[in-house]
Amino acid sequence: MISNIHKPNIVIAVFLISGSIWAISPAQASVTIPYSPQIDILNTNSMMNASTSTSTTTNTAANTATSTDAVSLLENTASPTIAINAIKVWQENGDFNRKLKRGSKGNDVMVLQIILKSLLNDKTKWTMTNNFGPKTESALRSLQAKLNVPITGELDTVTKSVVNELVYKELCPTAVRKIGVDNMVESDFNKVFENLNRSTSVPLDYIPQDLTRVLNPIKTIGVMCVSERIVRHLDEMIGDAKKQKLDIAITSSYRSAEMQKFLYSLWINKSGNAAKAGIAEAGHSEHQLGTTIDVSGKSIGYAGVSPSFANSKEGKWMAQNSYKYGFIMSYPDKKQKETGYIYEPWHFRYIGVDNAKDIFTDKITIQDFLNFSTATTTSSSTTPTTSTSTINVTSEGTGTEPSGVNDMIATTTARFL
């Protein structure tokens, strides 16, 4: 098990180097992180050091520019490629939320150094520290020139907004929308009911068309985005848990196929086939659908993907109540034969309130439900079924079935959202 990575004021940057997993700590010590098939890379708390530099702030145009100016600059700037490990580090630590300049110290300085090295495609050896020194300033000036923003050598208002937006767009990309309701439903909406498993996948380039950032009052550990259709259900579920004095946070949400490939390769390189029991290959992860979350609780320090969540008060509440909000534990205990994955008490997928109720009541898995429902609707494509285990859907906003969708959706009751 990975230990000691949830301590306050510590950030660990993980890279895949020559088949090994290396961690760079603020103390500049390189250590190998022990493997656990149930531990996801960099599931640390969002623990950005919010302290401010004591140096005098320079009053430049860049420092007083508005966020609108930054967005305008960004829209006219070609996005550089960002390495997937740099994206992951930024996600786990959250947005840059303060000005950084020569003399600044903190975890966010190290994250900035990692991103600068990636954005500049710098092949030289860097010593990642939490100190903003001459090399960081020089690199930041180079990036500002590349992004066509005021060159100040500081992570000022404009540069901070642009860098945050650049990384966020890589983490939560915008899908190319297809014109027409039918195309939208066929290319995106049906993926809600994709029965992902070891043999079934979605295209590697699939991106949900309605990804949106998860914001307050929903607590997240780092930056998270999900399908917009599940946000109100998340809000209601976590809000109701809060009324019971239970603090639940999202520790993982949407993942691109590229991110999944990175995580998969990381653990396979470290521990071989033993890792496969706890992680899906790219294209096979429910996280790519945008309707799946990993959660944790305050009582266990918001530890990510932790088996201890099962016996925590938050974990017990989720296991007994998540279905009321449309969420079902995808990989329950003693169901590895059916699901293909080890027990993951933290992993929940939105499947619709009525569908979730059926799954919970019948004590079956999502996989069994989708297999049965697909078989039922396929065999009776001209006659609607009245089975309790029939997928229930509705098109967004209309409350009615859209036309031109596949037989499975066309023959089911419209009550998904």
Enzyme catalytic residues: 344
Q: Give residue for tokens 């092949």.
A: 123
Helix boundaries (H) for 37-180: 61-64, 67-75, 84-93, 107-119, 134-147, 157-171
Residue 249: closest CA among 275, 279, 218: 218
10 Å Cβ neighbour count for 42? Answer: 23
Backbone angles phi and psi of 17, in degrees to 5:
-130, 115
First-to-last alpha carbon distance for the chain, in angstroms, is 38
The DSSP call for residue 282 is T
Residues 295 and 112: their CA atoms lie apart, in Å, by: 27
10 Å Cβ neighbour count for 162? Answer: 21
User: What pairs with residue 22 in β-bridges?
Assistant: 15, 32
User: What pairs with residue 347 in β-bridges?
Assistant: 294
Listing DSSP states for 354-398 in one string gives HHHHHHHHHT--HHHHHHHHHHHHHHTTTS----TT------TTT
10 Å Cβ neighbour count for 9? Answer: 12
On whether the CB atoms of residues 365 and 373 are closer than 8 A, the answer is no
CB-count exposure of residue 77 (10 Å: 0-12, 13-18, 19+):
middle
Record the tokens describing residue 170, joined without a space: 């890589």
Give the strands of the sheet with 30-32, arranged side by side: 13-17, 20-24, 30-32
Distances (CA, A) of 258 to 217, 297, 376: 29, 28, 34
Residues 32 and 271: their CA atoms lie apart, in Å, by: 12
**b or e along 309-318 (b: 16 or more beta carbons within 10 Å of the residue's beta carbon)?**
bbebbbbebb
Residues 273 and 334: their CA atoms lie apart, in Å, by: 20
User: What pairs with residue 17 in β-bridges?
Assistant: 20
